[in-house]
Structure 1
Amino acid sequence: MILRSIRNKMLCNRTAEQIIIGGKLCNIIENTWVLRKQLRHTVSKLYQPKEITPRDKLETVKKIDESTSRSSRLMKEYGITKSVGNGYFALLPLATRSINKLTKLIDKELENVGCQKIFLPHTISADLWAKSGRLHGMGPELIRYKDRHNKEMILCPTHEETITSIISSYELSIKELPLKLYQIGSKFRGEMRPKFGLIRANEFIMKDLYTFDKDLDSAMDTYHQICEAYKKIFDRVGVPYQRVEGDTGIMGGSLSHEYHYPAGIGQDLLLWCSECSKGRNIEVEQNGESNQVCESCGGKLEETKGIEVGHTFLLGQKYSKVFKANFLGLKGKPETLEMGCYGIGVTRVMAAATEVLSTETELRWPRSIAPFSICIIPPKTGSKEYNTGVGIMEQMYEQLNLHFQDDIIIDDRDKTTIGKKLVEADRTGYPIIIVIGKKSTLAEPLVEIQIPSALDENLRKMEISPQHAVQFLQSIKSDFS
C-alpha cells in the first residue's frame, strides 16, 4: 500500500511538472498516440510475398503438378508458406500466427488435464532406436546420419525412445503418477514422395504427449481423459472430423484411435457410420475383408477418405520394459510403468483445415486459428470520405481491440483501391472484413461488414452503423477463441 501511494504521488508530481512546462505534455500525448499506432498490424508492413496463378491457367497448373493440393497452392499464392526444398517449407508471418494460435489452444486443453510441457532434442543416438527394435522398422523414412565422430544419429519422427530413456534414469514414486509430459516441435520423416504441401512434408510441427501410469486400468483412465481433451481441441478448431479405430502399426500397443478431416485428397480409407458417428480405418480389417455393418449400432458403414491429423495409442509396456522405466510401488519394489502416446500434427491441422474449407481461389481458415480475425479496410488516401472514414476507423479499432486484442490488421496501403484491398482480404481468408467506404460520410454513417464463410447469407454482407457493427462483432467474439 505504501509503495502504491509513493508511486501515485510520483506520477502526480510528474504530471503536474508536465502541465507547468506546457507544450511538452501535448508532445508526450502525441508521441504515445503515434507509438500505439506503430504497434498496430498493417498490411503495408506485413511480409506476404504473393505468387498468384491467373485463373485462366489454374486448371493447367493443377494437371501438371498432381502433388499440389488446393491448400498448398493457395498458401503459396497468398504468401502464407514458401517451399525451400522438396518437402520443406518456410512458415511466413501469417502461417506463424495461425500456428501460434493453434499451439495456445492445444496448450490450454492439455494443461487442463494436468499435462506438463517440455522440449526434447531433435536428434538422438541411433542406439536408442536399436534398443527398442525400431531402427530398421521404418526403413528409409527414418532420417539417419553420422556426426563428426562417426556416431550414427537420428532426426526424430517421434520421441518414445527419448522420453522413456529419460524416465528410466529416475525411479518415480507412485505418488508422482500419472505423469503426462508433452512437447510441440519439429519432427522429421524422409517421405518417398512429399505431396500436398504441409499435409505430407519431410519436416513438420507436431504435438507429442507421453503418459506414464501405475497399471493398465489407470493407463486406460488416462487414455480416456486425453481423448476427451482431444475432443475439446478439435471441437474448438471447428472443422468437422471423424474419430475412428486405428491400426497400432510400428508404434505398437493394444489400442489406438485416429482423428481425420474428411477430404478427397485423404490417403486413409475409412469405414464410417453416420448414424452413431463411429468407424475404423480400413487398415484395421482382418485378412483384407471389410465388414460393411457397424458393430456399435448395426448401421451401414460408408467408405470415406480422410487426412489424419491426430492419433492416440495405449502402448502398454512396449517401451518401458525395454528401457526399464519403473516406479516404486506400494510394497517398495520397482514395477514397470504403463505408457500411452498421443500425437497431433500441428502444421497438418492448419493445412488440412484450409484444404477442407477453402474454395479454388479463396483461402478459408477455421475462425479459431485464422492469422487475424478482422481486417479493416479504410478509405483510399485523398478520397472525399478519407478524413471522416479514418476517424470512424480509429474509433472502431480502439473499441474492437479490447475484445480482439492483437487480432486485427488494417489495410493501410495508400495507392491501392478499396476494391483490390477487398479482393485480397477475401482471398487471404480473413474471417471478418470491415469496409469503410462512401457511406461513412452520411449523416448517419454506415460501414460494410463481410463474413464470407457465414452460414447465414444475411451475415455475409451487412451495412450497419459503426456502433452496431462493434456491438455485433463483440457478441460473436466467442466464435473466434
Structure 2
Amino acid sequence: MNRISKIFQPLLIIPKNAVVRNQDLTSKSQRLMMECGLIRPSGNGSFFILPILQRSVEKLVGIIDHHMQKIDCQKITMPTLTSADLWKMSGRFEDAQSELLIVKDRHEKLHLLSPTHEESITSLLASIAGTSYRLFPLKFYQITSKFRDEMKPRFGLIRAKEFLMKDLYTFDCDLESAKISYETVNEQYKNLFDYLEIPYVKIEADTGLMGGNISHEYHILTSIGEDHIVQCKKCNKAVNKELLNEKQLICDECVPEDIEQHEGIEIGHTFVLEDKYTKALNATYLSKKGKPEILQMGCYGIGVTRLIAASIERFSTESEIRWPIPIAPFKLCIIPPKEGSKEQEKVKDLMEEIDNFLKSKEKSLRDDVVIDDRTQITIGKRLMHTKRLGIPFIIVIGSKAAEEINPTVELHDLNQNIVHELSITDALNKVMSQIKTYEIV
C-alpha cells in the first residue's frame, strides 16, 4: 500500500506574517503546488515535477493515449532538436525567432529546442518516397517536452519555458479528407475533456503563425487567463476576441446585451494547415494515377502540464487543491488513529479488514489508495494536510470506529463537500464504486 511517510513531498511553509513578492507566486495553482510539495522551480520558467504530481501527469498521459488510439492515432517520438533549416524552408524561422531557443552545434549548424514539430514530422513524410494513397489518413502523435523562450514566464506550469505537450499531426490526400480528420480529432478532444469533467469552452481562433484556414481553441475559464473570449449567451457561440473588430458581433442574431466576455487559459488548439508545410518541404503521396501529389495536413495540441495546472486553478479553493477526479494523484486516503491513543488498540481488527479488502481488489484500484501512516501526528492535522492536498475521498478512523456497537468511520467526499458516517465496509465499497466509474474502458 502507498504510504505518505515514504513519499518525497517537501512542503513549503510560508509564515503567516511573511511578505511574498508577487513575482514569486503569481497564481493560486502555482502557490498551492509549491506549498504542497508538488513542484519546485529549477530555473526561470522551468520546474521539477515531484512524485505526487508525477502520478497525475502519468494518469493524464494514459488518458490521452487511450483517447488518441481510439481514433487510430499512432504514437511516435520525434527529436527534441529540429534543424533551423527546416523552419527556414517553411518560412517560420524569422517570424518566430524571438520565442525560439536556438542552439549551435560544433559544426556551426543551428538547431531549435522544438516548441512544436510541424516541420519535423513533415520532413519525415517528405523523406519517404512513393507512399500510396491507400495508407492515408495517417495520424501521428507524441507526448514530449516542448520549449519556448518566454519573455516573462508566469503562473507556474501555466506559462513556462519548458512544458509537457501532446502534439498530433494528420496527413490526408485531399482537403475534404483533411477536414474529416479535423472533425474526428475535435470530437475526440470533446470526449477527452468530458471524461475529465473539465468545464471548457471551444472557440474559433486565429491561425496565426501556424497557418491554414481553420482553427479552434479549448479554454478553461479563470480570472488569470490571458486570452479574452467573447461569447453569446443566446447562441452559445464563442470566439477569441482577437478575431473580432471593435464593435463586431459574433453572429447576425447576437445583440450587445447577449455578449459576455471571459478570460481563459488555453489547454488545446487545433488547426487545418492545408499544404503550408507539405508544399514547402515537398511531402507527397502517390495518387491513384501513380503521380506524386502534395499532402494536406492538420495539427492538434494539448498542453499536458498546463491542463493540470489550469484545472487546479479553476477547481481549488485558496487554501486547498481540488482535482478532476480521473487525474487526482490518489483517490482515497485512509487516516488511522494516532499512535498511543485509546482507539489505536481497539481498531486493530478493523485495520486488518481494510488491508484484506484492498488486497481483494485489482491493482489499479489498490494503487489509488494511500494511507497516512504518520501516526505520531494527530488525526486533525493529518486530515487538514490531506484536504489541502485535495485527495477526493478520505476515510478517517476516529473514536467512533472504536465503539462496541455499530462502529463507524468518517468518509469525506471533498468534491461534494459532504461527510458520511458509515461502517468501514460501506465506506470502502462506496469509494471503490466511485473510483471504478473512472476506469478507462
* Fold match by TM threshold 0.5: yes
Stretch deviating more after TM superposition (273-282 or 408-417) = 273-282
1:300 aligns with 2:261: no
How has the CA–CA distance of structure 1 residues 340 and 398 changed in structure 2, closer, same or farther, with 3 Å as cutoff? farther
**Paired residue secondary structure (1:119):** coil
Residue 71 of structure 2 is aligned to residue 113 of structure 1:
yes
The correspondence for 1:176, drawn from 135, 159, 169, is 135
The match for 1:446 is 408
Relative to its length, the structure with more helix (as a share) is 1
Partner of 1:289: 246
**Quick check: 1:257 aligned with 2:216?**
yes
TM-score when normalising by structure 2: 0.94
- Establish whether residue 43 from structure 1 lines up as the match of residue 4 from structure 2: yes
Q: Deviations over 1:82-112 (max 9, x none)?
A: 0011101000001110000100111101100
Could you tell me which amino acid in structure 2 is paired with residue 430 of structure 1?
I
Residue among 95, 103, 126 paired with 2:53: 95
Q: Deviations over 1:331-388 (max 9, x none)?
A: 1111111100000000000000001111111111111101111111111222222134
Contact 2:338 2:344 (C-alpha < 8 Å) held by counterparts: yes
TM-superposed CA distance for 1:210, in Å, is 0.2
CA contact (8 A) 1:263 1:306 kept: yes
Q: Which one of 231, 243, 246 corresponds to residue 205 of structure 2?
A: 246
Asked whether the 8 Å contact 2:239–2:250 carries over to 1, the reply is no
Could you say which residue in structure 2 is the equivalent of 1:150?
Answer: 108
Q: Bigger radius of gyration, 1 or 2?
A: 1
Residue range with higher mean Cα deviation, 157-166 or 127-136: 127-136
Inter-partner Cα distance in structure 1 for 2:339 and 2:330: 23
Corresponding position of 2:279: 321
1:37 paired residue number: none
CA distance in 2 between counterparts of 1:81 and 1:395 reads 35
SS state at 1:47 partner: coil
Distance 2:56 2:288 in 1: 46
Instruction: Please give the alpha-carbon distance, in whole angstroms, between the structure 2 residues aligned to 1:165 and 1:428.
Output: 44
Contact 2:332–2:431 under 8 Å retained in 1: no
Q: 2 CA distance for matches of 1:407 and 1:295?
A: 50
Contact 1:292 1:302 in 2 (8 A): no
Partner AA of 1:46 in structure 2: I
Moved over 4 A (4+): 295-299
1:395 is displaced (CA, Å) by 2.2
Q: Which residue of 1 aligns with 2:81?
A: 123
- Matching residue's letter, 1:92: L
Counterparts in 2 of 1:427 and 1:390: CA distance versus 1, 3 Å = farther
Q: Distance in 1 between matches of 2:422 and 2:207?
A: 54
Match of 1:333 in 2: 291
Q: Give the secondary-structure state (helix, strand or coil) at the position aligned to 1:365.
A: coil
Q: Give the aligned residue type for 1:474.
A: M
- Which of the numbers 141, 146, 149 marks the counterpart of 1:190? 149
Q: How far off is 1:316 after superposition? A: 0.2
Report Cα offsets for 1:218-264 as digits up to 9, x if no partner: 11111000001000111112121100001100100110000000010
RMSD over aligned CA atoms reads: 1.7
Aligned to 1:30: none
Q: Distance in 2 between matches of 1:147 and 1:412?
A: 51
Structure-to-structure mapping, 1:406-421, within 5 angstroms = 406-421=367-382
- Quote the offset at 1:431 in angstroms: 0.6
Q: Separation in 1 of the partners of 2:355 and 2:180?
A: 47
Contact 1:373 1:480 survives alignment (8 Å):
no
- Distance change in 2, residues 1:56/1:392 (3 Å): farther
* Residue identity matched to 1:407: D
Question: Is the deviation greater in 382-391 or in 175-184?
Answer: 382-391
**TM-aligned CA distance change 1:426 to 1:390, over 3 Å:** farther
Q: Which letter maps to 2:357?
A: Q
CA–CA distance in structure 2, aligned partners of residues 66 and 90 of structure 1 = 16
* CA deviation after TM superposition for structure 1 residue 400, in Å: 4.5
Partner of 2:237: 278
Asked if 1 retains the 8 angstrom alpha-carbon contact of 2:231 and 2:250, the reply is no
**Any idea what SS the aligned residue of 2:56 has?**
helix
Residues 1:224 and 2:183 are matched in the alignment:
yes
Partner residue in 1 for 2:44: 86
| Alpha-carbon spacing, 1:242–1:176, altered in 2? closer, same or farther (3 Å) | same
Q: Contact 1:451–1:461 at 8 Å: present in 2 too?
A: yes
Higher mean alpha-carbon deviation, 228-237 vs 382-391, is at 382-391
Cα distance 1:163–1:463, how it changes in 2: closer, same or farther (>3 A)?
same
Residue number among 346, 350, 369 corresponding to 2:308 in the alignment? 350
Deviation at 1:68, TM superposition (A): 1.3
Unaligned 5+ runs, structure 2: none
Summarize the Cα distance change of 1:415–1:198 in structure 2 as closer, same or farther, 3 Å threshold: same
Cα separation, 1, equivalents of 2:235 and 2:350: 50
The answer as to whether partners of 2:412 and 2:419 remain within 8 angstroms in 1 is yes
Q: 1:392 aligns with which of 350, 357, 373?
A: 350
